[in-house]
Structure 1
Amino acid sequence: MKRINWNNAVAMIILFTLVLFIGIATSSKVMASSTPYYTYTTDNEDGGVKTSDAYTPGEQILEAGGESFKTLEYVYVDHEDYIYITDSGRAKVFIFDKDLNFIDVIEYNGSVSGADDGFYAVNSIYVTEEKIYIPDSFRNSVFVFDREAILNRDQQYFLWMEDIDDSDSLSTGDVFYLNEEIDGVSTPIGEPVFVVEVTGQNADNRDIVLFKDYETGEELFTKVDKAEMIGKILNWVTYDYDGTDVLKFNIYAAKNEPIQVITTPTAPVFQEGYLFAPKKVVVDTRGNLYIVGAQSNNGLIMLNAEGEFLTFFGGNPLRTPFIDQIRSFILTDIQKEKLRNENLISIDYVSSVAIDEKGFIYTVTSTLENDVIKKYNVSGKNYFSSDALGWVGAVDLWVGDYGNVVVVEEFGWINEYNSNGQLIFTFSVSDAGIDRVGLLSLPKSIAIDSKDRLLVVDQGNKLLQIYEPTAFTNAVHTALQAYQDGDEDLARVNWKSTLEYATIFDLAHIGLGDAYIRQGDYESALVEYKLASYKAGISNTYWQVRQDWMEENLELVFFVVLMLFVGRWIFKILNKKYDYTKGLRNKFKELRTKSRTVDELSYIPEFIKHPLDGYYQIKRKDRVSVKTATIIYGMLAVVFVMYYEVTNIIFLEKTNVNILYELIILGSVLILWVIANYFICLINDGEGSFKNVYVSTAMSFTPLLFVAPVIILLSNVLTYQEAVFYSVPLAFTLIWVSIYFFFMIKEIHNYEVGETVNIIFKSMFTMLIMGIFVFVVYSLNSQIFTVSTEIARELIER
């Protein structure tokens, strides 16, 4: 027989196990992704859940008309899908069409008269159907342009000129001819186009030149000599055109001239030094401007269409340390201003602003961690959910066509919310040093076009990144739009479609529930809301389901209740005469006699009625044993589990909890209490033993055994409107138990009232210290185990 090579066999087994493990590990991914990032949504407890890709990286815009970007700041998409990208480094706005083709550039070097200085650092842009608003914080101005004039301005072209007097300048009588070739080299064509007439000079002694139609003499336009109309002579062409020498000139495009420049308002607050440095702006249907100003600690600056100051709007409340809040009551105004100047009061400046078609103003603040997004009506009331998830670093936002809000953070996260503030998608596009398409270095601005594409400015990489929506996202957006349009059938179909991409997608279940409600199917809506643990929806829908059931079964309910009362009354009469329950009573008495545990458990109702006597019985006569107390603790654990598993979800602060973990926490707290209280009382002349503390603590909880199950069961037929019937009995029971605890310590250890209060605080403080110690030991457990193992190995080897 051939001998087995065990070394090879073991090696093969290890190799097979390793291959199997790798296969299982690689095949057990929850969600694959074709993008360089993962997309997440939230569950009913706002926990992150990996889901299908919402957006995939698309095209990039790296330059405009051959000119590279320098310091990109902002992107805006208007109602016709023209894309505007602001570049503060070049002091320009680049315009692209919906197909990402470069169209034109907005640049402004100041007026001829010198009334304003033109762009210095273009911060952002806002476009209406008629106007374009460009704020410049360095110029302390908002430049307003005519949109049609910008989008349809005359472009650069070539002309040939006949210099009548050979003066090398524009003179009366000079004639211009059009050129049909782009390269500007071909022969002038056709008849002359313009004839020039110098009509005078301006205040700067520059010629004012009138251009007339060559044939009709009609006055067409006026320019200030060739510096305004004609560029340098590109080349001298001595060409015999009908016996005349002609020259080639480059005709500049029409200049971008603002129709209005809004500067620092004349309101006293600005004249007294309040900074007007507009960075971002939106405009409502009345022409009012809402401006994000640099270091505007009062919020948005609201101006009317003429640039007159109206009010401050939508500011964030000041964050003042608690001690300074107390000090502020006794400080003078001068001292408060000094406190603010010392930066002891945190001011959260608004980072960006947006407006929707209904006129709601949205703001986002990069320094806030909570309540990051706000949605204001005209009176300044915030309608966006304060519970909406957000993170520090949000720099810009955009409101989509479906009421959805997208926010970009400078650390790379892009978040999309529905109109109620619930997070739909979130994904991180931070490059983290990795050079891949779709990953960004420093996101600064975000917009959405009519195709639902995300356009994100990456200032770090000097580009505009496009993200294409996936079928999953299109289904979500279609469902949102269908619901807004009142098409519940289409909304329901699309919400169900989204669940094919993501099985855990609470927003879909909520959307289905909303659609069912509009169709009057409250029972189906209730099922969907429960799947999403949507508490408000569960409460409102259950109220209607309960109402419908009561209307159909009210007579039956009254009949059953009446029969129960009648049956109980008849039974009492018959039992009084024939004593049907005598056998049960005798059996129970016999059982109490034979079993001490049953007897002690039967003592609970009497203890609840007379707790002071009960504590005396426990302390002096050993009325309740450790075994029975332990059973009571077990019963409390059952009630605790029942609370999480049976209570109506709308009354639970936490859902989907780890019951075992919660039980361990509860047990640990009780153990710490018993130990801490015993030792504190031991060193403070307390009379109770450890057993007394252990048993009496259990007995003090007994009211919960009777009241809590009833409250828990009752909660399942209540809604938020009847929450008082749940919260008040529960609060009453907890107060009841607290009173028992107070008298437990007083009677078991024979303290006065003042001593009892002192012992309670000392016990709680001791619990805290012991808990911290246990946590530290637990945290160091792995290190201690490793060190102990190493020491043991060292001793064995020696």
Structure 2
Amino acid sequence: MKYKKYLILLVVSFALVIFTSTTKVSAASYNYDYWHNIVYSSEGLSHKDTFYDQDILNPNGTTPVDANGNQLVKFNTLEDMAVYGERIYVLDAKTRDSKTLTFGGDPTSVDGASTVYVLDKSFNYVGQQSVFAITKSAKAQLERFYTYFDEEKGETVRVYETENAKNNYQDRVYIPYPDGFTPKTKSGLDLAENTAVILRNARGITVTKDALYIADTGHYRIFKLDKDTYTVTGVYLTPNDETFRNPWVFSEASDGKQLFYPIKLAIDVANRVYCVADRIYEGILEFNDNGEFNRFLGVNKVVPNPLKAFWTKIMTETQIAQIALDLPPMFTNLSIDKKGFLYTTSKPSDNTQATNLIKAINTSGKDVLKRNGYTEPSGDAVYIGASTNPQIPIGPSSLNAITVSDNGIYTAVDTKRGRMFTYDNEGNLLYITGEKGTLSHNLNEPVAIRYLGNDIVVVDRESRSLIRFQVTKFGSLINEATELYNQGLVIEAESIWREVLKMNSNYELAYVGIGKSLLRQGKYKEAMENFKMGNNKTYYSKAFQGYRDEFLEENFGIIMTSLVAIVVAYGAYKGYKYIKRRNEEDYEGGDENA
């Protein structure tokens, strides 16, 4: 008997070890329940393929090379990506490389001369561009901006004609055509003669039906280009606002002002340009189609630090002056949906607070993002706030890029832990994908993310690669059910949500979806059970109200008959008591008279 007990304990211990090892939740297969507990979840996205520069081939399978046999595609510092139609535009800032341009037979090394690679949807090589012709009107814009009156010298200075500008090609406002460069022509484009521009440390790119927009960060400007010829047709320069200073004018009045470093772009249907600028806290910049600065919009609010507020009450003025100011979180990226809403990501204010890291900003500058999920749409809901281990990332997610699908589903990527978070338009967290590591599908420094059909492509700066993810069966079911719900087809989505539960019985959002279908069908009791499983108090109350009203309606006759019977019985009882009391009083009165 004694050995039997030990044998049972051994078997149970072994079973626990096996169960624990097989149910370990990886970074790519979890979600959060109503109580913010981490729960197992099937993957919504899975790795499809990874493209390094040597994987970018011609459509016939050969390696793209120049006239000297040198490989044309050499990823260096990938910064951004845009997708439109059948084309993928990849922006390489080239900050760790230099390009040799030849002018009149004289080779010149240019640092950080950024390149735009153009690929088709199968990631085949289409072309690349690092030198861009410019129209006469765009050239005139540049010359007007880079001309100013020097009060000390009492003369007009044209920056583009100074000796420094002529000798330093990488800092020039514009350059002559390099040897071998032939601009593409197109009807309606009035090209400036022998005039081109190059990019320097460019960090943002986006594309519309007719134009390509590039944030030429190192030159403090944004270019609008004709998409067919890659000719610059418009220029967006340092805004005429007290926040900024002219990059070529230095004075006491410019102290404390910022240079204009555009890093990310989005364009609406009216061709207004929305720009996230580095080191700017005032909000997103808006330009009109003529290149004029309109306004800031969607400024982030300062998140108060309770601990700092406490210390400032007991510190001296000198000590308080040494404390860093509480500034609004800076925007890190943006994307625009088909309705014109700007979806943005921001840096967390510190390692303890993660509020409104994702926003949906309307044309009035207001955040209208719905936050009806169990967790705030800000990445990980649970994280370590402090650690002495440098290998453990601490603090909230650091969301660095975002993309929005046509059906309102959006995905943000966290550069701190290498994860993608996908939400529906109600703010529900649908699934989490990715992690850091040494494999080709790991996200170690994601800087851009875009939908490519149903797939998602992530630009990873550290690995210098484009990583494509495809929707899994589980993710496809969730996306389909979500889209049906958005179309008002709640009942039609029920069967799909039931398929989701077959794959993952922990998926609380599926219970809510089923509950909404049952609620619309008037099956209140069953709806209550599903809302309870999904921990949705709001819809549980609605289902309970319906169940109560239905119960009252169906049993109205019985209830009213019972109430009447109770009233009649109570009246009869009270009458009986009254008569009995009167009889007793009469009896006692008769005895006294006798």
Which TM-score bucket, shorter chain as reference?
0.5 to 0.7
1:103 equivalenced with 2:123 (yes/no): no
Note the C-alpha offset of 1:475. 0.8
Deviation at 1:349, TM superposition (A): 0.4
- What does 1:127-526 correspond to in 2, within 5 Å? 127-147=207-227, 149-150=228-229, 256-267=230-241, 269-270=243-244, 273-321=257-305, 343-368=324-349, 369-386=354-371, 388-390=376-378, 391-411=396-416, 412-431=418-437, 435-450=438-453, 452-488=454-490, 490-518=492-520, 521-526=523-528
CA RMSD of aligned residues (A): 3.6
The separation in 2 between residues aligned to 1:23 and 1:437, in whole angstroms, is 34
Residues 348-357 or 316-325, more deviating: 316-325
Work out the CA distance in 1 between the residues paired with 2:490 and 2:299.
38
Report the equivalent of 1:176: none
**CA deviation after TM superposition for structure 1 residue 353, in Å:** 1.0
Q: Which has the larger radius of gyration?
A: 1
Q: Among residues 50, 55, 66, which one is paired with 2:40 in the alignment?
A: 50
Q: 1:69 maps to what in 2?
A: 75
Structure 1 residues 561 and 123: CA distance shift in structure 2, 3 A: farther
Kindly provide the amino acid, as one letter, of the partner of residue 276 in structure 1: F
- 2:462 and 2:580 map into 1 onto residues whose CA distance is 93
Per-residue deviation, residues 94-113 of structure 1 (Å, max 9, x unmatched): 22221121222232367597
Distance 1:517 1:146, change over 3 A: farther
SS of residue paired to 1:319: coil
Does the CA-based 8 Å contact 1:339-1:345 persist in structure 2?
A: no
Distance 1:304 1:91 in 2: 25
Residue-by-residue CA offset, 1:625-647 (whole Å, 9 max, x unaligned): xxxxxxxxxxxxxxxxxxxxxxx
Distance change in 2, residues 1:297/1:574 (3 Å): same
**Structure 1 vs Structure 2: percent identity of aligned residues?**
22
User: Structure 1: how far apart are the matches of 2:77 and 2:301?
Assistant: 32
Q: 1:496 to 1:322 in 2, by over 3 A?
A: closer
Q: Which moved more, 1:454-463 or 1:496-505?
A: 454-463
CA distance in 2, matches of 1:31, 1:97: 41
In structure 2, the residue corresponding to 1:280 is in which secondary structure?
Answer: strand
One-letter code aligned to 1:401: D
Asked whether the equivalents of residues 87 and 122 of structure 1 are also in contact (C-alpha less than 8 Å), the reply is yes
- Contact persistence 1:38–1:50 (CA under 8 A): no
* 1:532 shift after superposition: 0.6
Structure 1 position 302, deviation (Å): 1.4
Q: Is the 8 A contact 1:275 1:296 kept in 2?
A: no
Check 1:524–1:320 CA distance in 2 against 1; reply closer, same or farther (3 A cut): closer
Task: Find the residue that maps to 1:305 and give its secondary structure.
Answer: coil
Q: Judging changes above 3 Å, is the alpha-carbon distance between structure 1 residues 473 and 562 closer, same or farther for their aligned structure 2 residues? A: same
When residues 82 and 109 of structure 1 are mapped into structure 2, their CA distance, relative to the original with a 3 A threshold, is closer
Q: CA deviation at 1:322?
A: 5.6
Query: What does 1:84-123 correspond to in 2, within 5 Å?
Result: 84-89=89-94, 91-108=114-131, 111=134, 116=174, 117-123=197-203
Q: Residues 134 and 142 of structure 1 are in contact (CA less than 8 Å); yes or no, is this contact kept in structure 2?
A: yes
CA deviations on 1:698-755 (whole Å, 9 max, x unpaired) are xxxxxxxxxxxxxxxxxxxxxxxxxxxxxxxxxxxxxxxxxxxxxxxxxxxxxxxxxx
Give the deviation of 1:325 after TM superposition: 7.1
Looking at structure 2, the residues matched to 290 and 381 of structure 1 have their Cα atoms a distance apart, in angstroms, of 15
CA deviation vs aligned residue, 1:433-470 (integer Å, no higher than 9, x gap): xx2232232222222211x2221222111111112221
- Whether contact under 8 Å (2:531, 2:540) holds in the other structure is yes
Change (3 A) 1:108 1:516: farther
Deviation at 1:346, TM superposition (A): 3.2
TM-score normalised over the length of structure 2? 0.68
The Cα offsets for residues 371-395 of structure 1, whole Å up to 9 and x where unpaired, read as 2211122223322245525233111
Preserved CA contact (<8 Å) 2:444 2:460: yes
2-structure distance, mates of 1:15, 1:558: 65
Structure-to-structure mapping, 1:525-544, within 5 angstroms: 525-544=527-546
More strand by share: 2
Q: Deviations over 1:176-210 (max 9, x none)?
A: xxxxxxxxxxxxxxxxxxxxxxxxxxxxxxxxxxx
Q: d(CA) in 2 for partners of 1:547 and 1:15?
A: 58
Structure-2 change in CA distance of 1:340 and 1:362 (3 Å): farther
> Which residues of structure 1 form unaligned runs of 5+?
1-8, 151-255, 330-334, 580-798
Q: Distance in 2 between matches of 1:509 and 1:140?
A: 51
Residue 322 and residue 53 in structure 1: after superposition, are their counterparts in 2 closer, same or farther (change >3 A)? closer
SS at match of 2:198: coil
1:297 CA drift (Å): 0.8
Distance 1:109 1:128 in 2: 18
Asked if structure 1 preserves the Cα contact closer than 8 Å seen for 2:204 and 2:262, the reply is no
3-state SS in 2 of match to 1:351: strand
Give, as a single letter, the amino acid of the residue that structure 2 aligns with 1:348.
Answer: P
- Partners of 2:261 and 2:545 in 1: CA distance: 53
Q: Partner of 2:39: helix, strand, or coil?
A: strand
3-state SS, counterpart of residue 68 of structure 1: coil
Aligned pair in 2 of structure 1 residues 327, 265: CA closer, same or farther (>3 Å)?
farther
| Kept after mapping to 1: 8 A contact 2:201/2:218 | yes
Deviation at 1:37, TM superposition (A): 4.6
Q: Structure 2 vs 1, CA of residues 309 and 321 (structure 1 numbering), >3 Å: closer, same or farther?
A: same
1:44, 1:359 → 2: CA distance? 32
Partners of 1:321 and 1:490 lie apart in 2 by 47
TM-score by length of 1: 0.51
TM-aligned CA deviation for residue 263 of structure 1 = 1.0
Greater share of residues in helix: 1
Q: Deviation digits for residues 260-298 of structure 1, max 9, x if unmatched?
A: 121113345546745432111111111122211111111
Q: Which residue of 1 aligns with 2:163?
A: none
Alpha-carbon distance in structure 1 between the residues aligned to 2:10 and 2:128: 61
Residue identity in the other structure for 1:418: D
Q: What whole-Å deviation, never above 9, does each CA across 1:330-385 have from its counterpart, x for those lacking one?
A: xxxxx9xx989962223310111111111111111122412221112222332224
Compute the displacement of 1:542 (Å).
3.2
Q: 1:573 to 1:23 in 2, by over 3 A?
A: same
1:170 corresponding residue in structure 2? none
Check 1:345–1:436 CA distance in 2 against 1; reply closer, same or farther (3 A cut).
same
Deviations 1:205-234 (A, max 9, x none): xxxxxxxxxxxxxxxxxxxxxxxxxxxxxx
Secondary structure at 1:138 match in 2? helix
Asked if the contact 2:377–2:423 (Cα under 8 Å) also holds between the matched residues in 1, the reply is no
